[in-house]
Amino acid sequence: MRRIELKFNIKVAVLIISSSMIFAIYNINNYTNLKNEKSIICMEAKGKVKAKAKKTYITKNSSGAYNVLGTIVVNKKYGLSKDYTYKNNKQMFDKATNAFNKMQQDAQKDGINLYIISRYRSYSLQKWLYDKYKSESKDVDTFSAKAGYSEHQTGLAFDLNDSKTSVRDSFEFTDAYKWLKENAYKYGFILRYPKGKSDITGYKFEPWHYRYVGTELSYKLKDQTTTLEEYLNICK
């Protein structure tokens, strides 16, 4: 009986150890998968575009704007001071103006009308808008930025439409949007908040919101599936 009991106990012990090992391996694999999922959120664009440096250095320029690889960055994490205006990056602002004028003229030749619905917004105007939207919607943070965290304060963000009315989601289905999708990068513009990227940008898909970054960068992001955060490796 003792031998039978001993053999039985050994089998039970072996079974318990095996089960524990399988469970442990499963947990390790599961943890590894979760870890990998988190670590590759900024690497979705791998093979398509590559940042100029393996390490990303975020600095503040003399005006107080965050700068990565020569590009001004404004998002939910990196903001601007109350007194920052487009005049603090006047040279880039003027380049953006000239680029849009050329884009607008070329679009018109193709029978497409492009209008700027909103461009530069001061800190105080953005605060007023955000507070207004907040009183009307619980989802305000998915479509509006808090004061100091809006790209519009730089004057490099353009809300566009094919008519002189306000922006709208249905702009995605217009000929103007199709034209921009095929041509905006040629003039230094990128679609700032692409579809399916809200987890990274913090904002819903906005077919009307374009950001001037210059042609060197816009050509690298012309597929419109890679966000500025991914390219610059500054995802949260």
Q: Which residues are catalytic?
A: 206
| Token representation of residue 177 | 């949007």
* Spatial separation of the C-alpha atoms in residues 184 and 219, rounded to whole Å: 9
Instruction: Show the DSSP H helices in 40-138 as ranges.
Output: 90-109, 123-136
Edge-first strand order for the sheet with 189-191 is 115-118, 157-161, 209-212, 189-191
Q: Closest by alpha carbon to 230, among 90, 116, 118, 73? A: 73
Paired residues of 71 in beta bridges? 68
Q: Which amino acid is at 217?
A: L
Paired residues of 212 in beta bridges? 189
Q: Closest by alpha carbon to 175, among 190, 161, 188, 193? A: 161
Residue where the block lists tokens 């398509």: 48
Paired residues of 191 in beta bridges? 210
User: CA angle at residue 159 from 193 to 116, to 5 degrees?
Assistant: 155
Residue where the block lists tokens 């605060």: 127
* Spatial separation of the C-alpha atoms in residues 227 and 42, rounded to whole Å: 9
Kindly report the backbone phi and psi dihedral angles of residue 18, in degrees, each rounded to the nearest multiple of 5, phi listed first: -65, -45
